[in-house]
Amino acid sequence: EWRRPPNDLQAQTVGGGHKAIHDDATAAKLGLSLAPIHGTVHWSQLTPLLLEAFGSAWFETGSISVHFVNMVGHLQPVCAFLAKPDPSKRAQQLDVWMEHLDGRVVLEGTASVGLKPNEMVTMAQSKIALIKPVKGRLLFERKAAGTKSLEPEPAKIEFDQVIGPLFPFTHRRKLKIITEFSPWFDEQAGKNSPWGRPILPPESFNQIMLGAVGGAPYVRWPDVPGDEWLHQALGGRTPVGLFGGCEVVLHSGPIFVGEEYLCTRELVGVGETPKAEFRWTRTYLHERRSGKLVAEMTLQEMQLKSSLQ
């Protein structure tokens, strides 16, 4: 069915001397006809399809991996699709995609249940495998693949706490405008979920693993030796960024509202296109009290070259 997702990140704070690409004026300066919606917002529109195909098990051992193709503006109608599942299989992977009214593809990729990363080929895995070696060094993406974050970061999403500077609204507010609502996400009705407590919707997987959540500091990476000249030349400025693709694999879900987690990160790929530099970062989400691995996210962040002249 067709849905009209909102752009709820107009007020996103990203630093670097500029506003986010989700801001109308910033998007216009970059020559875009619209300010794009945050890509993983579309994941919640897939909730009914994922539940129909995989059942509640998707929130425990599911995955979603997509490449963002064409942007979507505020309240533009889009429709989500998922390939027909094989009812005889408990573990399987299916194609997923989304379209504009005119048929243009918004996103494309895969969704699965019951499969580990080494048991399937996802959209993100395919993209990372195609990265060409970089000649010399990139200007914005200075760290090498294999670099790890310096320390674990706390992460927790509560109903009435602003999620963070990257998501300047409360979780309760998000649920009021979410594209596809489920009672399992609700504070009261969620107590009747299969797990006896409210769970995070698919789009919130990215929120809790992106960083600076619930008052936590931003991720810290090792300094790159010899880059003092670059920091001085840029004067704190950074290029405008956007997502190229995103994957989340649930190892031992669901991810719960109010649960304390820890995030660790590793840079798994860097590269460039004619218009952007990019990095692929893998974030691991562990339950704080038990240490178990709950989920992992592999995210492609694009840095637009033309935005920093």
Half-sphere exposure (Cβ direction) of 139: Cα atoms closer than 13 Å: 16
When the pLDDT of each residue in the chain is averaged and rounded to a whole number, the result is 96
Q: Convert the pLDDT of each residue in 24-64 to its tens digit.
A: 999 999 999 999 999 999 999 999 999 999 999 999 999 99
Contact (CB, 8 A) for 173 and 167: no
Q: By C-alpha distance, which of 264, 67, 255, 287 is closest to 147? A: 264
Q: What is the pLDDT confidence band of residue 67, given thresholds at 50, 70 and 90?
A: very high
What is the domain extent for residue 23?
2-307
pLDDT reported for residue 17: 85
Rounded-to-integer distance, Cα 267 and Cα 291, Å:
21
Over pLDDT 90: what percentage of the chain?
Answer: 87
pLDDT reported for residue 15: 83
Stretch 111-131: mean pLDDT: 96
Rounded-to-integer distance, Cα 58 and Cα 52, Å:
10
Here the CATH number for the domain that contains residue 195 is 3.10.129.10
Amino acid sitting at position 158: E
pTM value is 0.95
Rg for the chain, CA atoms, rounded: 19
Rounded-to-integer distance, Cα 239 and Cα 278, Å:
11
Contact (CB, 8 A) for 21 and 68: no
pLDDT reported for residue 136: 81
Rounded-to-integer distance, Cα 270 and Cα 133, Å:
9
Amino acid sitting at position 72: V
Q: Convert the pLDDT of each residue in 83-99 to its tens digit.
A: 999 999 999 999 999 99
Query: Is residue 262's pLDDT more than 90?
Result: yes
Q: Among 12-26, 177-191, 248-262, which stretch is predicted with the lowest mean pLDDT?
A: 12-26
Provide the domain count of the chain: 1
**Residue 187 structure tokens:** 């504070």
Stretch 276-284: mean pLDDT: 97
Contact (CB, 8 A) for 280 and 124: yes
Per residue, the 3-state secondary structure of the chain, as one string, reads: CEECCCCCCCCCCCCCCCCCCCCHHHHHHCCCCCCCCCHHHHHHHHHHHHHHHHHHHHHHHEEEEEEECCCCCCCCCEEEEECCCCCCCCCEEEEEEEEECCCCEEEEEEEEECCCHHHCCCHHHHHHHCCCCCCCCCCCCCCCCCCECCCCEEECCCCCCEEECCEEEEHHHHHHHCCCCCHHHCCCHHHHCCCCCCECCCHHHHHHHHCCCCCCCCCCCCCCCCCHHHHHHHCCCCCCEEEEEEEEEECCCCCECCCCEEEEEEEEEEEECCCEEEEEEEEEEEECCCCCEEEEEEEEEEEEHHHCC
pLDDT reported for residue 231: 85
Query: Is residue 308's pLDDT more than 90?
Result: no
pLDDT reported for residue 11: 86
